[in-house]
Amino acid sequence: MADTVTQSPLRRFVEAHHEPIIQEFAAFAQTLMPEGVEMTRVVLRDHAEELLTAIVRDMGVPQTVGEQERKSEGLGEAQTMAASGRLHADARAQHGFSVHALVAEFRALRAIVLRLYEKSGESDLGEVRRFNEAVDEALAVSLSRFTIQTDRFRDQFIGILSHDLRTPLGAITTGAALLALPEDSPARRARATSRILHSAQRMERMIADLLDLTRARLGGIIPLTRRHSDLQQICEEVITEIGQAHPGVVVRLDTSGNLAGDWDADRLAQVISNLLGNAIHHGNGTGVTLTAKEEGLEVTLAVHNGGPPIPASVLPFIFEPLARGDGANPHRIGLGLFIARAIVSAHGGTIHVTSSAQAGTTFTMSLPKATRERSGVIA
């Protein structure tokens, strides 16, 4: 059925008040974002624009009484809201929104439009019904899609975790079998013991990451043990550890200013180690630079490598703990960056990434030197 434009009062009202509706909706959606998620107001506006445009389009499509009844039962043929509903659900699932937040967004959009429409003095129950039908259709599609996506992400995550645990578990099993041999040489037993210890420590780190993931996903904050710390010393210690794990790799350290602050040194070392490890792994031998500098009441730390750029399809979700990208070019993302963002966020800071073929890839985080309860520069 063709999209025949009908100039109904509510449709005219929505078109005339497009901007204030979008602004209020985007502001509300921003309050629903999970802790540590960075989703710009522009992105939030884009999704609101898509939904509102689809709703106005749906309201302009004529329908018979029978079509209206079928649509109220979810059996309508037009399905003008399906595409925008699916896109909205995909974006929210990928950014870690809960199903409750998704429903709250649609409830807010409905309330914003009808409240403003009521204040205008207009009254058209038929158009209000059409508006509600469009919102309900989009919500139904979004909920269905959201469930499918979250189930897929859960299964994908379990698969990644199972795969990653299998390697150290296999090493432990093999090492234990060697230790059980009665005539095994002392040197071989020592190597087997070292391998078992290393694999057990790796599994312990993975379990700790999983606990951090669960805590962050449930809306909690990564726990911190703050003390007066020097970020330069933290960086130097991490670089030493990285050098032991990657012989021959040189990490250039460039620091300036006073880098002391009230931080959890162990947690920041965890973040820096993860960023350096990723830079070495993806840098293709191009060299890695770690820069830390004082900027007023904050310290900015950046990790750069000149390797191939991060795919554009992956960048929006680089801090999420799942694989991203299209079917032909999947890109594996582990837990490290998700937990890094959660740790930086718990410190009251921010982290972001830029990546291009010309400039390379740079992860940059900004950390306030003092907690919110304190003020002034920390000496």
CATH number for position 15 = 1.10.490.70
For residue 4, is it within any domain? no
**Residue holding tokens 């002391």?**
260
Q: Is residue 377 part of a domain?
A: no
Give the domain extent around 233.
227-368
- pTM score above 0.85: no
Burial state string for 80-100 with b = 16 or more CB within 10 A and e = fewer than 16: bbbebbbbbbebbbebbbbee
| Angstrom distance (rounded) from CA 149 to CA 362 | 30
Q: What does the pLDDT profile of the chain (379 residues) look like in tens digits?
A: 334 445 577 777 888 888 888 888 888 877 777 655 556 666 666 667 777 777 777 777 766 666 655 555 554 544 556 666 777 777 776 666 777 777 788 888 888 888 887 777 766 666 777 777 777 777 777 877 877 777 776 666 666 566 667 767 787 888 888 788 777 678 878 888 877 887 787 777 677 767 666 665 555 567 788 999 999 999 998 898 888 777 788 899 999 999 999 999 988 988 998 899 889 988 888 889 999 999 999 999 999 999 999 988 888 778 876 544 444 444 445 677 888 888 898 898 999 999 999 999 999 999 999 865 443 333 3
* DSSP 8-state code for residue 81: T
Pairing of β 360-368 and β 350-356:
antiparallel
Q: Confirm whether 375 is domain-assigned.
A: no
Shared domain check, 94 and 25: yes
Q: Has residue 332 been placed in a domain?
A: yes
Burial of 367 (0-12, 13-18, 19+ CB in 10 A): buried
Question: Are 364 and 300 a contacting pair, CB within 8 Å?
Answer: yes
149 with 40, same domain: the answer is yes
Question: Which residue, 132, 153, 174, sits at the end of a domain?
Answer: 153
Structure tokens at 130: 């059409």
CA-nearest of 10, 189, 216 to 110 is 10
Total structural domains within the chain: 3
Query: What's the Cα-to-Cα distance from 334 to each of 161, 204, 272, 311, rounded to whole Å?
Result: 9, 16, 16, 16
C-alpha 46/C-alpha 229 separation (Å) is: 42
Same domain, 143 and 203: no
| 299 DSSP assignment | E
The H or E element spanning position 291 is strand 288-295
Half-sphere exposure (Cβ direction) of 108: Cα atoms closer than 13 Å: 19
Task: List residues bridging with 211 in a β-sheet.
Answer: none
Q: Is residue 1 part of a domain?
A: no
